[in-house]
Structure formats: structure tokens, C-alpha cells
Amino acid sequence: MKSLILGSVLVVSLLGLIIILFRKRIGLSFFTSFGIHLVLAAVGIYVVNYSGWITGTYIPLNPATIGTVSILGLPGVGLLLGLKISLFG
């Protein structure tokens, strides 16, 4: 019963999101832009990890770090590096 209620809430919210996206004429350009930001965030973290620019630091590729970099951009990579160095030495 609980999974039926959760599944119906998920379906209704997904339909609502699709209606809002296409009614506001955001459409697929939003998803394209979001995808580009995600890929560039992953590439930025990958470059920092394997370039040897700062030795001894490694930023894991997980949803939290990629989300931070995709929202903040290049300063997000700096933020993660600063947190890594200051908190974990």
C-alpha cells in the first residue's frame, strides 16, 4: 500500500514537472544546458585530480561534488580544493 502511494505521488509529480517545462517553453534546451554543465563539472574535477597541479589532493566524483561544481562553476572546484586542504590536510 505504501509503495502504491509513493509510486502515484512520483508519477503525478513527474507529469506536473513535464507540463511546467513545456508550458513555460523551457523544453529540451534546459536539459541540454544542464547536461553540458554536468559534463563540464566532471571534466573539471577530473583535470584537477589527474593533472598533478596540486599533489596529494583527490576530489571524488560523486553527486555532491559534481552538483557543487555544476552550480558554482570553476569557483566550485576551488571551493572543493580549499575544503579538502583545510579540513583533511
Per-residue pLDDT tens for 21-76? 777 766 677 778 888 888 888 888 888 888 877 777 888 888 888 888 888 888 88
Residue 33 sits at φ, ψ, to 5 deg, of: -65, -45
Write down the pTM of the prediction. 0.61
Nearest CA-CA partner of 38 in 75, 71, 77, 81: 71
